[in-house]
Structure 1
Amino acid sequence: MASASITFVLIRLGELAVKEAALLRGVDDDIRLLRDKLEWLQTFIQHADHERRTGANNYIGLWVRQTRDVAYEVEDVLDEFLRKADLERLGLPAWKKCLKLATTCTTQVSVRRVLRDRMDSIKNRLKEISENVDKYKIEKLQSSTSSAQNPTNSAAASCFCGGVESDPFRSYHQVLTNNNDDKERSVIAIVGESGIGKSTLAWKVYDSSDIRCHFHQRVSINIPPHIRDTDILYFIYKRLCPDADDKMSLTTEQLHASLSEKLRNKRYLIMVDGLVNFTNWNSVLHGLPDNGELGSRIMIITRLEDKEAAYADPKVSPLRISYLYEHESKDLFCHKVFGSKNQFHNKVFGSKPLLKNEEEEMLEIFHKDVFEITQGLPLAIVVLAGLLRTKSFMEWDKVLSQLKTNEKSKRVKRILALCFDDLPSRLKSCFLYFAGMPENLIFNARHIVRLWVAEGFLKPKKGKTMEDIGQSYLKELISRGMINLVRKDPSGGVWLVTIHDRLHAFAQSEAHEESFLEVHDNADLLMPNSVRRLCLHNYMQSHVPMDTSFPKLRSILCDFAEERKTNSVKNHGGHNGLRYHGLQFLPRSKFLRVVDLRGMRIRKVPNEIGNMVHIRYLGIRSRSLVHIPSSMGRLINLQTLDITRSRVENATQAFWEIPTLRHVMANKLNLPKSVGVLSNMQTLTGLVCTDPWEKNISPLHHMIYLRHLEISGLGSGHWEALADAFQKLEALVYLHLAAKPEDEKIPFIQLTKFTLQRLQILELYGKIDMSNADIEERYTLPNLNRLVLKLSMVNQEFMDRIGELPNLRELVLSKKSYDGSKLMFSDSGFNSVTNLVMADLEDLVEWTIRPKSIPMIKRIALSGFTKLNIKLEGNQGPQCLKGLMDHLEEVVLCNMPDDLTVEPANSAFSEKINCVAIKTKSEDIMDAMLRAGRWRESMVAGTLY
């Protein structure tokens, strides 16, 4: 990992040489020599991390640690130099800059003199470290540990697989649905070693068609290891009612009452992944209705042993998952190495593979080695396969020989260490960053990439944005099995990811050992002066004091339990007796680059933040935040501002002129009518237009790389300028437009021109004006795959035209999106649609589906109709709805009346209806469908992290 630290410092030295050439006159030779020396050290030290981890020689660990400390010292010197230089240049008009030229030059000479002295000291220390390499003959110890390993004989398969169910899927399925005719509510725990595949099995059963039909309501949540029982109940409630009031307004009694109401007279299944103790488990059960003899089930995925897990429900034995048999291990290994479609075969064997028989014989030998090393543990197989996928077939023997050892208990750790050591230096930093993420949760990949960019982990490539490079890093880690892909976005990019708890523990251990990052539950640290990256996770305490100073801190990531009225203490300075964080620790950490705070009660940001010129990422997601200071305009290096959950409405004009801005995510932040040249901007979400745009010039004019735009409050003074902006926004992939509620209309004509060619998701909230649109003109949104309409009041003619969109996969017709009592999907319409949602179309009473329409449909969700008759034309004739029936998996009904009719009633369409009695609003019917059907939208405690 020391090599990654040196890599990062080398990047900073390169940036400094390019951006601050004028400041470096007189010390540029010193910096060049220092960079050369660090590059040589990086080359020698790349193999030393493995030696240091094995503990074969104390000299190795000392050498690695000293080299890393020098790299960190270089970073401190550079950051202090840049900070002083930036503060000199901040906030000065042109005439003052000329007036201060003489004094500035004097200041620069002084700053350079300090820099040169510090550089000389560092070079002398590096010279001493280099001499120690020869003095103690450290280089001769490389690879000594790996060469000493001897292969061991393979154990019998039965030793690793004894006691496993002949079909654990079927056994678990029977426990959930039958359990020997036990109709009482019961709790089933899935137990087994970490990495054994508990979550994989649980999700397979949870998502099976029989389970979906058996239970009226299903809920799944991922929770961190240590969490309050009331929060577990709240997360369940939020999954049931995603549009309900937030937990700040719910007392414990109200939460219990709401859950009882939502689950009354329903057979429910609740899956909780991540529970590690049952101390307050009875409190959780008490908050869920028993429902008599309906046979509700609660399943727990836990790492606890059988005896501990038995406390969940003494009447039901835990289901233990055991190791894979040898043939199962072989199947999983081949699938991970070569891919589901064997697409990595040539990468492993080369363009001229071995003869088929010879190849199979060698594979069989390696399969036995893999089974011996992994012992049939799925996690070990997946990670090892990810490593071998990067090697040629001829290199496999060398890799596997390093892993064969008599110490079976350490084999998984050795696999993880070897896979980590094989990562390029930049990927090591990116992987270790997951150590700072909460355990057992699911993360937004875009959020992770923005943090990587702000940290400086990514290497620029010509023709690619830093976000694209970050996506490629994520895909590499996923390919290697180091992190898990949960969901892709519509463009095929990585959207949601998670990391296995065993890999997470390894990352935390390695990050702590190398002083890369520290994870704690509070800010009371033993050595705060040395911490460079700090992650605070606490889901038990409502308020965590933050009064400590961290002089060398570069990054702080906090995730706390949000404070509620019911358990807060009196504070004369706050409202409703709730305490607020003053963030006074921020100004004391002058080198901070990343600030990402979640769950803290914050009303305002200290004005001193304007002097923290190194900040690249500022995320404060707090519902109590109402103001950001005007000094924010001084953050000349700021890339990302994330205030998505706040009540902030205005930012200073100077903020909108920071040229480095890339992502601004808010809730209801006013967008001024003019901004600076923000040519790097990629994300603008949660923006509101309050002023008309003059002379047809919008603030989006120079944002040519904008990809995600969410803007509301649009009126007549915006549309013409917006249409002109669309001519330049060629990179736009997500667009959300919301008109003013005062009967404003969205002119659809601007979406029919040859613009927005890359647009993939379009959400229109407001009445669509078709008056000036040429209905005969072909719509030109060739890559659009998701369309959401709300309050749009479109007609049949409009539906016929959007049905021609070639790549439309998801169509959501929400509240008042259709104006009429009858709707027909014609033969030529919606040929690519797989997911269809129709909600709160109160006037619609008849929906006709023609024989050749929606031929690829898989899932349909209907909600909030007062009366609806579905007519399937041609169902009994020679041209029946064969295409529809071939692909249709499920029809989910939510909040629907009993008089729903389907003609003909005995059609296959009727057989696939799954009624879900969810008595809630349909504002977010997509989420209701995701919970009711197989559309798994992974959530973190009710909210994407």
Structure 2
Amino acid sequence: MAVEAAVSLVLRKLSNFLIQEAVYLYEVRDQVEWVERELKRMQCLLKDADAKQSGDERVKNWVADVRDVAYDAEDVIDTFILKIEQRRSGYAGFFKRFMRIHIELLSRRQVGNEIERIKNKIQEISASRLTFGIIDVGEGSSFKGESLRRQRQTSPLFGETEVIGFEEDIKTLVGRLIKGDSRRCVVSVVGMGGLGKTTLAIKVYNNDAVKKHFDCCAWIFVSQEYVERDLLQSIIKCFMTLTKEELEMAEKMNSVFLLTTRNREVASYADARSSPHELQLLGDEEVWKLFCKKAFLEQGIHYQQNLEKLGKEIVAKCCGLPLAIVAIGGLLSRKSTDPNEWEKVLQKISSQSVDDESRIARILALSYEDLPYRLKPYFLYFGVFPEDHEIRAKKLIQLWVAEGFVEPTGDETMEEAAEDCLEELIHRSLIQVVKRNSIGRVKSCRIHDLLHELSISKAREDKFLDVHHGNTNPLSPSKARRLAIHHATSKYTSLNRANPHLRSVLCITLDSGWLGKKQEDFLYRGFNLLRVLYLDVSNRKLPNEIGTLIHLRYLGFKVGGLTSLPSSISNLHNLETLHVEEGISIIYIPNSIWKMKQLRHVDVSYGRIINKGVWSKMVGRPSLGLDCLVNLQTLKRVEAGDWIEDCLGKLTTLKKLGVYEMHNSWQTKGLSNSLPKLDLLQSLRLHWWRTIPVFMPFSHHLHLKKMFLSGTLKKLPESYEFSPNLTKLTLASSQLMKDPMATLEKLPNLRILRLCYNSYMGKEMICSAQGFPQLKSLQVERLPELVEWRVEEGAMLRLLHLLICECSTLKRLPEGLQHVTTLEKLEVQRMPGEFNARMLENRGDDWHKIQHIPSLKIQ
């Protein structure tokens, strides 16, 4: 029940309000404290109410009343804070100060009246709960973050797709794709939702025989609402490495499409001459194997004997549907091994005699209901994103923090606590991992469309979220706290459905465009209490009105044309995240941004801090005040400036730093002096204009996992000068003359290495035996002088992926590559025809080096 989380959020806000605004509350403080105490008491009642509301409409209404009164209290607090802030910045002089005092007295009287109304409502709700027999059962269940952190560090690095029982289907579909009709055709896979169609399609798409048969392949998701242009662009992105001539050739080829759909009519319409492949339900043995893989993930195999009978009864209710099996298995993996606990789950599934589809929906709903209350808003938040949307974990976590969901414990940061919650949802099989990074953390994720429908349904029921699609009218948003717009913003604003209660607006559109004056007024003047604003638009600048949204915690844009941020942005003193994605030009950032003391993440596309102010002009240097940013964790894609020398060393909480356009000695000196003080750094990206004058050692940066260095290096540092825990390294434009492999292969934890664009200008490269003990991915790109490459036996014993791109003078594949038996994928891009000819199957001179590699891709 998201209501418990909503009450918890309001309680935290009340507590902060009583501390921070005490001077303004001397007449109403007692009333506010009373509201805080009563809401705490009600929070302890909600778990019992949650257990009873599914069978009693009156209890359901009681829970809704608790939610509404909590929302009312939040509205009063936020509106009062807004008025205080407006008056702090809007009055000067004796007369104006007198008017400010007079209006503040009126405001306190008004807030007192509002709180008195809320008190009366709370008293009514409290008295009525006795009628329904609702009792205090404490704060409810939770989960242990420490165990999750251990799981997170040991999570698999590449792929997490569960495939059991599809062997024959894969064999059949692969055969139809590579041995079927020579005409352009569509091979469809049909079946009910949750049957595993997408999982099967992924396995077929990644099949070695399929990859070798087709010159190029593309994977896209087509949701119920889509824009043809975006689909075409997604396909083109998959072919970006092809030359113009290869693209033209591809257009003339007969292509084969693999389509998954629940609707047999769609399959027939796509290709009437191709019979669809109907995916069947899993058999009993396959069902039990999949269930055990999920339910007994953390428990010894001996537990199966104790729970096997109950487990098989539970599995029988899943109707052979993989999605339901992994969902209920994920739920039980978090339960005690006491058979009584499993019996309760079985009874809930069997409580009603319904058809298969209704029972599946009930199983998925049960997985949601079983979540600890603190996790429910995290799950509901996935309804914000469009169907089949690939969600970046970093962005999702920052949004969760800004929404106020996160309650860290111990010494962990809010971002770490949020990451634990994401991992918990993954382990419960409610969320799917799409990609993990080099150290095993989630990079992007997705939610199954049936669970997506569930998240939206539950979110609307709790007035947690309202979603507006292009072809539907929005539900009445009179109390919804969040609004997601999945189409052009102008279509929604034309409905003139303003909602002063909104805390979040996210425009994640399929057809992003420009915001007109009407749309800007709608967004920046209509919602004064916003905490989160994300826009998928193309405007070149933001209006000054953005500075009136003083409650904002998250401000994000996915734009192509934004060039500047207004100075009024410094009024957003609660802002935690400023994120500008995919910019194509320099974005000018006002110097005043550094007044925003709550900033945690600044991630912009080619940001440039502009130096303004009288003091700057007098002494010729900016007064940035970066030392005030005691919470800053991310500062990425920002142009170098005097701020490096003046302030960087004071940002001791930084975890991610990215600076470009460094070109003079004092910037380098400032960097050398500052970096040793930033011992929490996890990711570092530095771009020099030309030569890197000196390389500072990073051996004491124990948290540093990722480095990207661009610029001429006079000499590659010794291996002991790098962080001992470095997992990913990229070198670009380094102009090294000495073979870098002799040094880099000694890095004990390096998993990903990219040597890019003139990073090495020598003719010979050697990977020696026992070198690169942990390396899993190696990319060698645009090394124009490389002629010979040798891999000694025993080198790179864990390598999975190798990319060779635009090394025009390289004569042949590395000698000794045949000894790297772990290699799963070799990609060769834009190499000379003679080089490619050596890899021809059975007759190329280099075929013996690669015949053991499952996947070979030549472009």
Using the size of structure 2 for normalisation, the TM-score is 0.87
Aligned twin of 2:635: 684
For residue 742 of structure 2, what is the aligned residue in structure 1? 800
Q: Partners of 2:560 and 2:241 in 1: how far apart?
A: 17
The separation in 1 between residues aligned to 2:322 and 2:590, in whole angstroms, is 53
* Separation (CA, whole Å) in 2 of partners of 1:614 and 1:219: 42
Specify the alignment match of 1:326 in structure 2: 284
Letter in 2 for 1:656: W
> Is contact 1:862–1:894 with CA below 8 Å preserved after alignment?
yes
The reply on whether 1:731 has 2:666 as its aligned counterpart is: no
Q: Report Cα offsets for 1:695-728 as digits up to 9, x if no partner.
A: x734322221212222101122311111122112
- CA distance, structure 1, for counterparts of residue 491 and residue 344 of structure 2: 52
How far off is 1:807 after superposition?
Answer: 0.9
Tell me the residue number matched to 2:14: 13
Alignment gaps of 5+ in structure 2: 138-164, 611-621
Q: Secondary structure at the match of 1:167?
A: helix
CA distance in structure 2 between the aligned counterparts of 1:367 and 1:426, rounded to whole angstroms:
28
Q: From 819, 822, 844, give the equivalent of 2:761.
A: 819
- Shift in Å, 1:445: 0.9
Between 1:219-228 and 1:636-645, the stretch displaced more is 219-228
How far the C-alpha of 1:406 sits from its partner, in A, is 1.7
1:660 paired with 2:660, answer no
Specify the alignment match of 1:300 in structure 2: 259
**Which residue of 355, 363, 369 maps to 1:408?**
355
Change beyond 3 A, Cα 1:421–1:525: closer
- Which residue is equivalent to 1:336? 294
Distance 1:165 1:478 in 2: 22
Tell whether the 8 Å contact from 1:226 to 1:539 is kept in structure 2 after alignment: no
Question: Take 2:98 and 2:498, find their aligned partners in 1: how far apart are those partners?
Answer: 36
Question: 1:115 is matched with which residue: 111, 115, 125?
Answer: 111
| Partner secondary structure for residue 219 of structure 2 | strand
One-letter amino acid of the structure 1 residue matched with residue 756 of structure 2: S
**1:888 aligned to 2:826?**
no
Match of 2:452 among 493, 497, 504: 504
Deviation at 1:109, TM superposition (A): 4.2
* Aligned twin of 2:273: 315
Q: 1:899 to 1:227 in 2, by over 3 A?
A: same
Letter in 1 for 2:237: K
Structure 1 counterpart of 2:388, one-letter code: N
The 2-side partners of 1:859 and 1:654 are apart by: 46
> What's 1:645 paired with?
582
Question: Would you say the 8 A contact 1:240–1:262 is kept in 2?
Answer: no
Find the residue that maps to 2:629 and give its secondary structure. Answer: coil
> In structure 2, how many angstroms separate the alpha carbons of the residues matched to 1:705 and 1:325?
53
Write the distance in 2 (CA, Å) between the matches of 1:528 and 1:388: 36
Q: Deviations over 1:633-668 (max 9, x none)?
A: 111101111122334522222212211011111111
- Paired residue for 2:653? 705
**Aligned counterparts of 1:905 and 1:242: Cα–Cα separation in 2:** 23
Contact 2:493/2:522 (CA < 8 Å) preserved in 1? Answer: no
Q: Which amino acid aligns with 1:345?
A: Q
TM-superposed deviation, 1:546:
7.8
Per the alignment, residue 508 of structure 2 pairs with 559
1:86 aligns with 2:34: no
| Identity score, percent | 31
Aligned partner of 2:481 in structure 1 is 532
Alpha carbons of structure 1 residues 547 and 624: separation in structure 2 relative to 1, 3 Å: farther
2:566 paired with 1:629: yes
Matching residue of 1:211: 210
Say which SS state the counterpart of residue 766 (structure 2) adopts.
strand
Distance 1:888 1:526 in 2: 53
Tell me which residue corresponds to 1:618.
Answer: 555
Quick one: which of 342, 345, 358 aligns to 1:399? 345
Provide the secondary structure at the position in 2 that maps to 1:486: strand
Q: 1:798 Cα shift? A: 3.7
Q: Distance in 1 between matches of 2:311 and 2:649?
A: 58
Which position in structure 2 is the counterpart of 1:285?
A: none
- Tell me if structure 2 keeps the 8 A contact 1:225–1:440: no
Task: Give ranges in structure 1 of 5+ residues lacking alignment.
Answer: 143-163, 245-257, 267-288, 350-355, 876-880, 919-945
Note the alpha carbon deviations across 1:426-466, whole angstroms, 9 max, x for none: 21111111111111111001111111111111113231111
Within a 5 Å distance, the mapping from 1:397-546 to structure 2 comes to 397-404=343-350, 405-409=352-356, 410-521=358-469, 525=474, 527-538=476-487, 545=494
- Give me the whole-angstrom Cα distance separating, in 2, the residues matched to 1:439 and 1:526: 18
Answer yes or no: is the 8 Å Cα contact 1:59–1:138 preserved in 2.
no
Query: Aligned to 2:702, which of 757, 761, 770?
Result: 757
Asked whether the equivalents of residues 785 and 809 of structure 1 are also in contact (C-alpha less than 8 Å), the reply is yes
1:489–1:495 CA contact under 8 A, matched in 2: yes
What is the DSSP-based 3-state SS (H/G/I as helix, E as strand, rest coil) of the residue aligned with 2:828?
Answer: strand
Deviation at 1:207, TM superposition (A): 1.3
SS at match of 2:804: strand
CA distance in 2, matches of 1:648, 1:776: 36
Please name the residue that 1:248 is paired with.
none
The 10-residue stretch of structure 1 (18-27 or 212-221) with the greater mean CA deviation from structure 2: 18-27
Give the match's secondary structure for 2:754. strand
SS in 2 for 1:300: strand
**Deviation digits for residues 184-238 of structure 1 (CA, Å, limit 9, x no counterpart):** 2211111111111111111112112222222221111223321122322221012
CA distance, structure 2, for counterparts of residue 4 and residue 868 of structure 1: 60
Shift of 1:475: 0.9
* AA partner of residue 467 (structure 1): E
Give a deviation string over 1:101-157, Cα, whole Å, max 9, x none. 87766555443332222111111111112222334x3549x9xxxxxxxxxxxxxxx
Residues 466 and 477, structure 2, Cα contact 8 Å, conserved in 1: no
Q: 1:619 to 1:457 in 2, by over 3 A?
A: same
Which residue among 527, 541, 558 is the counterpart of 1:589?
527
Partner of 2:76: 77
Distance between the aligned counterparts of 2:452 and 2:672, measured in 1? 47
Question: Which residue, out of 774, 777, 793, partners 1:851?
Answer: 793
**Distance of aligned partners of 1:531 and 1:605 in 2 relative to their CA distance in 1, 3 Å threshold:** farther
Shift of 1:99: 10
How far does residue 692 in structure 1 lie from its aligned partner after superposition? 4.1
Q: Flag the 1:50–1:488 CA change in 2: closer, same or farther, 3 A.
A: same
Find the partner of 2:832 among 871, 882, 897.
Answer: 897
Residues 60, 138 of structure 1: 8 Å contact kept: no
1:852 to partner: Cα distance: 3.2
> In the aligned structure 2, how far is the partner of 1:91 from the partner of 1:654?
18
Q: Is the 8 A contact 1:484 1:498 kept in 2?
A: yes
* Alignment partners' CA distance in 1, 2:812 and 2:647: 46
> Is residue 719 of structure 1 aligned with residue 668 of structure 2?
yes
Q: Is the 8 A contact 2:784 2:806 kept in 1?
A: yes
2:808 is matched with which residue? 866
AA in 1 matched with 2:82: R
Give 1:406's aligned amino acid. Answer: S
Contact 2:211 2:857 in 1 (8 A): no
- Cα deviation 1:612-653 (Å, max 9, x = unaligned): 210111112221222322111111101111122334522222
The superposition leaves residues 342-366 of structure 1 with CA deviations (integer Å, 9 ceiling, x where unpaired) of xx116xx9xxxxxx5xx54432212
**What residue number does 1:37 align with?**
38
Please list the CA deviations of residues 562-603 of structure 1 after superposition, one character each: whole Å capped at 9, or x if unmatched: 468xxx9xxxx99xxxx99535432121111100111x2323
Answering whether residue 8 of structure 2 is matched by residue 3 of structure 1, we say no
- CA displacement 1:885-940 (0-9 Å, x = unmatched): 3212232211111222589746343653966453xxxxxxxxxxxxxxxxxxxxxx
The one-letter code sitting in structure 2 at the alignment partner of 1:602 is: N
Contact 1:891 1:914 in 2 (8 A): yes
* d(CA) in 1 for partners of 2:856, 2:323: 37
Describe the superposition over 1:252-304 as per-residue Cα deviations: whole angstroms up to 9, x where unpaired. Answer: xxxxxx7xx544445xxxxxxxxxxxxxxxxxxxxxx3525xxx321112222
Aligned match of 2:691 in 726, 745, 756?
745
The residue identity in structure 2 corresponding to 1:678 is L
Letter in 1 for 2:269: Y
Maintained 8 Å contact 1:546/1:583: no
